[in-house]
Amino acid sequence: MNAHNLPQKVAVLASGRGSNFEALARAALSGEIEAKIVCLVSNKAGAPCLERAAELGIPALALPAKGLSREDYDRVLAERVASFEPDWIFLLGWMRILTKAFLSRFPGRVVNLHPALPGAFPGFDAIARAWEGGRRGEVAKTGVMLHLVPDEAVDDGPLLAVEEIAIAPSEELSGLEERMHAAERRVVLEFAGRLAAVAVSCAATAAPRKGA
C-alpha cells in the first residue's frame, strides 16, 4: 500500500446513480482532497454512475456478472480493479456482497459506505426501514457509517467513521433521504481527506475475523 506518498489512489465500485462517487471525484480533481480516483467500476451496464465517470474523465468500466458464480465474478473483478493499482477500494452504493476471491486481493483496503448506524438495518433499503421505524416510534435516530470490509459479513466491519442523524416522527421519507445523502457525502469526503494518515492503522485490521 502507498501508505506514505500522496495522493492515495482510489478505485470506486458503484451500482447506481453514483452521486457520492461524483462528489468524491470532484473533490479529488479540484484538489480539495489529496486523492486520485483511478477508476469507476459498475456491475450494471448503463448505470448512471458510468456516465458520471465518463463526464469527469475517469476510466469507467461496466462489468456485469453474466451468469458467473460469485467467486468467479469476484476473481475477474479483482483482476480488473488491480490493473489500476489502487491503494483503496471504496464501495459507494455497490449492491453485491464481495467474497474472499476479491477481498483477499486487497486486505485492509476495502471501505464500504452504508446509510445506517453500526448494527442497525444492514442490507437493502436501510433509509426507508429506519424511517418506517421512526414513524412507528421504534427508533429515534439513524446515521451513516464507513467501515472496512474484511469478510463477507453484510454491512459490518471495523468502523472508520460514523455520523448520527435524528429521525423526526413527522418527517417525510424524502426529507430524511436528503439529509442522509448529505451526511454520506460529508463522511466520505472527510475520510478521503485523511487516507494517508489512516493507511497504516487500517492495514493492522486487514486479517479476516475468526469464523469468517
Backbone angles phi, psi at 140, to 5 degrees: -110, -10
What are the structural domains, with CATH classification, of the chain?
8-202 (3.40.50.170)
CA distance 112 to 25: 16
Show the DSSP H helices in 42-125 as ranges.
Answer: 48-55, 70-82, 100-103
Say which of 4, 114, 147, 181 is annotated catalytic.
Answer: 114
Which pTM value belongs to this model?
0.91
Residue labelled with grid coordinates 458464480:
69
Angle at 33 between CA 165 and CA 45, to 5 degrees: 75
Question: pLDDT (tens digit, 9 = 90+) per residue, 70-118?
Answer: 999 999 999 999 999 999 999 999 999 999 999 999 999 999 999 999 9
pLDDT tens for each residue of 28-58: 999 999 999 999 999 999 999 999 999 999 9
Tell me, yes or no, if 147 is annotated catalytic: no
Amino acid at 67: G
